[in-house]
Amino acid sequence: MENSQQGESDNSQRDASYQPAPSYWMAVTTAGLIFGIIVFVLSLITSYATINSEPTGSFFSPSQFIGVFACLAGAFGGMLATWHYAREYDNIPIKLGKGALIGFLTGVCITIVSVALSQVWQFVDPDMTQKIIDSTIANMEAMDMPDAQKQQMIDVTVEGIRSNNSMGMQLLWGVPINGILNLITGMIGAKIFGQQEG
């Protein structure tokens, strides 16, 4: 009898001291929205820079740099989400696995937000993809290479642009790749913004 009362007392003490880990969804959605919008805006800038550029006949253009920064920026969403989570709740243990999970979910969120905004933009400027293709063809026409090879290159590049701009392909590759990258940056964020207890 005494033992059972002692056990109940231990349990109630454990229940009182047990605090569930705070939810990370606020951090995930905040970072996902912010970086999703950043990625969308930067990719929009890249697209219009490509459309409005003069044909140079070069494979390499400054707008490609902006495009890469757009996607690299998206890789740091996981780090921001972990930082947000760490700032919001003081003095809680944050495991590396949780940092990784927060990062992965943020990567998925970034992809969904940026792809959704791209689809909305199709209503604002339905001809954008076609304009990019026209500009790319004009640039390739100015390249110094045999006609047959040039035509083959144009066909393949146009197919590649159409494929990369489809919603299915963006989600198919964007979700796992952004998820993996943000999983890693989320872990790095947990390591940087957390404090190692020794």
Which residue ranges make up the site for other proteins (CB under 8 A)? 59-60, 64-65, 67-68, 70-72, 74-75, 85-87, 89-97, 99-100, 152, 156-157, 159-160, 163-164, 169, 173-174, 177, 180-181, 183-184, 187-188, 190-198
Q: For the CB of residue 29, give the shortest distance to other proteins in the complex, in Å.
A: 19
Query: For residues 49 and 184, which CB has a smaller minimum distance to other proteins in the complex?
Result: 184
| C-alpha–C-alpha distance, residues 158 and 133, integer Å | 6
Query: For residues 55 and 67, which CB has a smaller minimum distance to other proteins in the complex?
Result: 67
Q: For the CB of residue 175, give the shortest distance to other proteins in the complex, in Å.
A: 11
Give the Cβ contact number of residue 52 at 10 Å. Answer: 10
Among 154, 117, 138, which residue's Cα sits nearest to residue 52? 138
Query: For residues 7 and 160, which CB has a smaller minimum distance to other proteins in the complex?
Result: 160
Q: Which residues contact 113 (CB under 8 A, 6 or more apart)?
A: 32, 33, 35, 36, 37, 40
Query: For residues 35 and 85, which CB has a smaller minimum distance to other proteins in the complex?
Result: 85
Query: For residues 29 and 61, which CB has a smaller minimum distance to other proteins in the complex?
Result: 61
| Burial annotation 66-101 (CB, 10 A radius, 16+ → b, else e) | bbeebbeebbbbbbbbbbbbbeeeeeeebeeebbbb
Q: For the CB of residue 38, give the shortest distance to other proteins in the complex, in Å.
A: 13
CA distances to 1, 13, 20, 176, 177 from 7, in Å = 10, 10, 22, 47, 49
Q: For the CB of residue 7, give the shortest distance to other proteins in the complex, in Å.
A: 23
Query: For residues 18 and 60, which CB has a smaller minimum distance to other proteins in the complex?
Result: 60
Q: For the CB of residue 183, give the shortest distance to other proteins in the complex, in Å.
A: 7
Q: For the CB of residue 11, give the shortest distance to other proteins in the complex, in Å.
A: 20
| C-alpha–C-alpha distance, residues 179 and 109, integer Å | 9
